[in-house]
């Protein structure tokens, strides 16, 4: 697979990474551990080198699966994980980026990932009660101690990014970005380009919607977080089908799949963007990886932009309580 570089220090990763959350957290029933490990190893064999996890995915179990699966090729992959939440009774319980807590989380992650160093450590969500300079300073110390290689933020706003970057240069920002979530284009992407920070979009396929496999009649299990997500309510799904129809049209013209066009569009935006797609199926994994070979011409991109600009996306991307935890 083609590779890309994130940040000034040139962290090299596969053009398409793998978000591991959905293996056992948030999206319906968890995979059997052996099947999840097999999928992760298949991803590596097909060129994926960026694997994204977090302590809260499970909690804890996702990191354990990633650590075990990637142990045979640890030196050949980039593992990203995250700190920033309290965990109580097995659930997220508010944000916490106090320096002592960051250190506690890192020690736990190192053990679960069965590694001596975390390649890319993100603050999962901004903690309004802890100055971002203190957070960045703590990660700077962890880097000096050899426990972390690179620093990143997730769902942070421009001012937070700038403040953190002055203390410890950021390698990457992770936030949602796709054809149905384009807010980062307003301020975030220009700032990242100025500061030479890489961008790792999560949910590049709109949590499955941009694959064309979800309709207004799709039902989600109660433990699938999309069941309470405003954009996945029947009315919003019906209204947003116009975007899928656009991708279907371009895919037919290019001889690719709808999902590959959605991912290919992201890759065409900037050379320092590496989306992390997530799946539990080998066939979908292979399809998504194939997007790295999709070539969208300037005319293709203009066609997509002209049509997409006329489509108003219905529904908020998170329930109100979750949206308040983002810095965008």
Q: In DSSP terms, which residues pair with 51 in a beta bridge?
A: 18, 79
Neighbours of 312 (CB within 10 A): 9
Which pLDDT score is estimated for 298?
Answer: 96
Which pTM does this prediction carry? 0.96
Which pLDDT score is estimated for 15?
Answer: 98
Write the DSSP symbol of residue 181.
Answer: B
**The two structure tokens encoding residue 57:** 């995915």
Q: Which residues are catalytic?
A: 57
> Rounded CA gap, 143 and 160, in Å?
20
> Rounded CA gap, 211 and 166, in Å?
39
**Spatial contact of 115 and 67, defined as CB atoms under 8 Å apart:** yes
Q: What distances in angstroms separate CA 140 from CA 7, 64, 85, 134, 207, one per listed residue? A: 16, 25, 19, 10, 33
Which pLDDT score is estimated for 326?
Answer: 67
Q: What are phi and psi of 17, to 5 degrees?
A: -100, 180
> Rounded CA gap, 166 and 41, in Å?
37
Q: For every one of its 328 residues, what pLDDT tens digit does the chain have, with 9 covering 90 and above?
A: 999 999 998 999 999 999 999 999 988 789 999 999 999 999 999 999 999 999 999 999 999 999 999 999 999 999 999 999 999 999 889 999 999 999 999 999 999 999 999 999 999 999 999 999 999 999 999 999 999 999 999 999 999 999 999 999 999 999 999 999 999 999 999 999 999 999 999 999 999 999 999 998 998 988 888 999 999 999 999 999 999 999 999 999 999 999 999 999 999 999 999 999 999 999 999 999 999 999 999 999 999 999 999 999 999 998 876 655 666 5
Which pLDDT score is estimated for 273?
Answer: 98
Q: List the chain domain ranges.
A: 3-205+267-294
Which pLDDT score is estimated for 27?
Answer: 83
Which pLDDT score is estimated for 309?
Answer: 95
Neighbours of 8 (CB within 10 A): 14
**The two structure tokens encoding residue 194:** 């100025």
Q: What distances in angstroms separate CA 190 from CA 195, 270, 296, 325, one per listed residue? A: 9, 11, 22, 22
* CATH code reported for the domain at 3-205+267-294: 3.20.20.100
Give, for 172, the enclosing helix (H) or strand (E). strand 172-176
């Amino acid at each position: 697979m083609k590779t890309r570089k994130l940040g000034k220090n040139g962290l090299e990763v596969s053009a398409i990474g793998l978000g591991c959350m959905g293996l056992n957290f948030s999206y319906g029933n968890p995979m059997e551990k052996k099947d999840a490990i097999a999928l992760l190893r298949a991803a590596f064999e097909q060129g994926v080198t960026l694997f994204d996890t977090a302590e809260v995915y499970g909690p804890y179990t996702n990191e354990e699966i990633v650590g075990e699966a990637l142990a045979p090729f640890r030196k050949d992959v980039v593992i990203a994980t995250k700190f920033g939440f309290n965990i109580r009774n097995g659930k997220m319980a508010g944000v916490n980026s106090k320096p002592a807590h960051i250190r506690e989380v890192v020690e736990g992650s190192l053990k679960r990932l069965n590694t001596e160093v975390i390649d890319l450590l993100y603050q999962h969500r901004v903690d309004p009660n802890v100055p971002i300079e203190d957070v960045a300073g703590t990660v700077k110390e962890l880097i000096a101690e050899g426990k972390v290689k690179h620093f990143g933020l997730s769902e942070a706003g421009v001012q937070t990014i700038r403040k953190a970057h002055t203390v410890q240069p950021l390698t990457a920002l992770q936030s949602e970005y796709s054809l149905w979530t384009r807010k980062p284009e307003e301020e975030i992407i220009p700032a990242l380009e100025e500061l030479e920070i890489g961008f790792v979009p999560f949910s590049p396929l709109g949590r499955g919607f941009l694959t064309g496999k979800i309709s207004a009649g799709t039902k989600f299990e109660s433990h699938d977080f999309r069941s309470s997500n405003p954009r996945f309510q029947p009315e919003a799904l019906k209204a947003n089908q116009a975007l899928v129809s656009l991708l279907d049209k371009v895919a037919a013209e290019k001889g690719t799949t709808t999902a590959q066009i959605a991912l290919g569009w992201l890759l065409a935006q900037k050379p320092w963007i590496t989306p992390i797609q997530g799946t539990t199926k080998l066939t979908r994994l292979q399809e998504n990886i194939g997007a790295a070979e999709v070539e969208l011409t300037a005319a293709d991109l203009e066609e997509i932009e002209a049509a997409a600009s006329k489509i108003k996306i219905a529904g908020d991307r998170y329930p109100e309580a979750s949206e308040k935890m983002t810095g965008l």
